[in-house]
Structure 1
């Protein structure tokens, strides 16, 4: 029986190799931290030569930045968007509960971008790591999206009276989910429904007080 020609393209092989390197780097960073993540360890874990690593990434800093970016893009693609459909008639509390009910349940899986991003935030170095810059920019982008979502529920009068309220609430959501993620890492498991109820209650009370 004649063999079937392979349909896999060279670009497919390159992407497979690239993802293997990213996966290996993420595992090592989780085990050894930033300083302990070396190209040597990545090549050993991935089974690919150093030349392959340097084909895709300039250096370790660039590699870990790409780990953060790759992980974030994978995570965010599966998450509900902070975009309100004009036809959505749910209250702010109902809408917030619906989004959080999906997003907070992915946190115990410890997405690499959160684990490595927080690790880089806590490290002080003379030259800021590229991954840290990307993580901060990502947090700003997400925070702005959440603030815009909150604003879509506010009347013109409320926005004029408290222009900072939407951003304050967005920061509370981001900081709270950071805390939930870190709590899971130390074994302090929270019931997601309890967590969501607390956040929704805080938001409702803040809006009512405004």
Structure 2
């Protein structure tokens, strides 16, 4: 009798795991809003009654699937806290970044979580809340690692540790924003560069903390949809933005947009052929605003210190984005899988690629004397990627976190760190072997 009971329990657990794994696969491919229990039933071959035996509804199922996938991946990751700190923090960071998996390696579930986290639903979503909790746990775990690296007499250790924990998590997350591998570089020198920048950010934090408070600011509240008399077309566009922010791009339907706008579908079809054209219009508007904050073009300063220029660029990018605005719409689009193509996605891709190339050209001017050396030929390319990863980390944290950091502080940290590391590469303190890249 006991064996029969054990066998039945085992079969039940195997069924539960199969449901969770197939659900996660479906959500990765179709998004949260696009995944239904009927799809899960067809994919697993499990009856609806069996699915409901294990899970009350779709929301609890997807939350459990996210939790299940996270726990499996977490069990395979090295624990930074298990590694005794060495005398050189930069080397420890480099070693751990190398050991951590790339975002594309079985980390698609994190992309799903970020899609949910970046959105601002009106009603609580269990899977979103669970991912935010998982993300907070990751930040807290890394904050513990950072805490043991601070000077013994340093004040504001808790705030500093949280700040660096968020930076580290955000940098890992920024990998999933890399469209189609357009910015793929060799992991070893890139991680060495990122580790050096994180180390210099931490040094700058110590300096600032000795002078003034490390301030946190409350995140901006999402703006509620308000009907205005400026024409039905714009009303539909703004209503679509709100639906995207609540449910993501996959959650947009004509019915939901019309309900949000308070207008009939017959009015919508006067302006837009179908849902795809409506979404494309929203993306096009976002691209135009996104492009305005993605240009870095100044001549090389006479004293060679270009940190003030990058500081202004970063500050402009952070101040020019707000919850529910172009930042969120752009991040949500970048977090879409490449095989889920919207008419305007290619335009955003080109805008970002153009900004990336312009930034790399700018870094080439800043590094001009060094680039003639074979070992530094690709230096501008790697600094550009590092620059974008640090900026995107800040943008992600700004959109997701309940409390954010003063944009001026973040701009100071990133710009100072990049310039200091550049000087260290120049004087040979940091060696990046790029000759064979």
What's the TM-score once normalised by structure 1's chain length?
0.74
- The Cα of 1:125 is off from its aligned counterpart by 7.0
Kindly report which structure 2 residues correspond to 1:127-142, keeping only aligned pairs within 5 A, or say none: 127-142=340-355
- The Cα of 1:84 is off from its aligned counterpart by 1.6
Which residue does the alignment assign to 1:180? 394
Which residue does the alignment assign to 1:17? 232
When the two chains are superposed, the root-mean-square deviation of aligned CA atoms in Å is: 2.8
Residue 37 (structure 1) aligned to one of 235, 249, 252: 252
Which residue does the alignment assign to 1:150? 363
**Deviates most, 45-54 or 171-180:** 45-54
The structure that has the greater radius of gyration is 2
**Conservation of the 8 A alpha-carbon contact between 1:82 and 1:146:** yes
Unaligned runs of 5+ in 1: 1-14
Q: Give yes or no for the alignment of 1:159 onto 2:348.
A: no
Residue 98 (structure 1) aligned to one of 309, 312, 321: 312
Which residue does the alignment assign to 1:198? 413
Structure 2 vs 1, CA of residues 133 and 160 (structure 1 numbering), >3 Å: closer, same or farther?
Answer: same
The count of residues paired between Structure 1 and Structure 2 equals 192
Distance 2:330 2:312 in 1: 26
Distance 1:17 1:164 in 2: 51
Which residue does the alignment assign to 1:171? 385
**Conservation of the 8 A alpha-carbon contact between 2:294 and 2:352:** no
Structure 2 vs 1, CA of residues 144 and 58 (structure 1 numbering), >3 Å: closer, same or farther?
Answer: farther
Unaligned runs of 5+ in 2: 1-229, 427-437
- The Cα of 1:126 is off from its aligned counterpart by 4.5
Structure 2 vs 1, CA of residues 25 and 168 (structure 1 numbering), >3 Å: closer, same or farther?
Answer: same
Which residue does the alignment assign to 1:11? none
**C-alpha offsets along residues 118-177 of structure 1, whole Å, 9 cap, x if unaligned?**
32333437442334333322221221122222223222x422332322232222232222
- The Cα of 1:27 is off from its aligned counterpart by 0.7
**Deviates most, 126-135 or 95-104:** 126-135
**Conservation of the 8 A alpha-carbon contact between 1:20 and 1:46:** yes
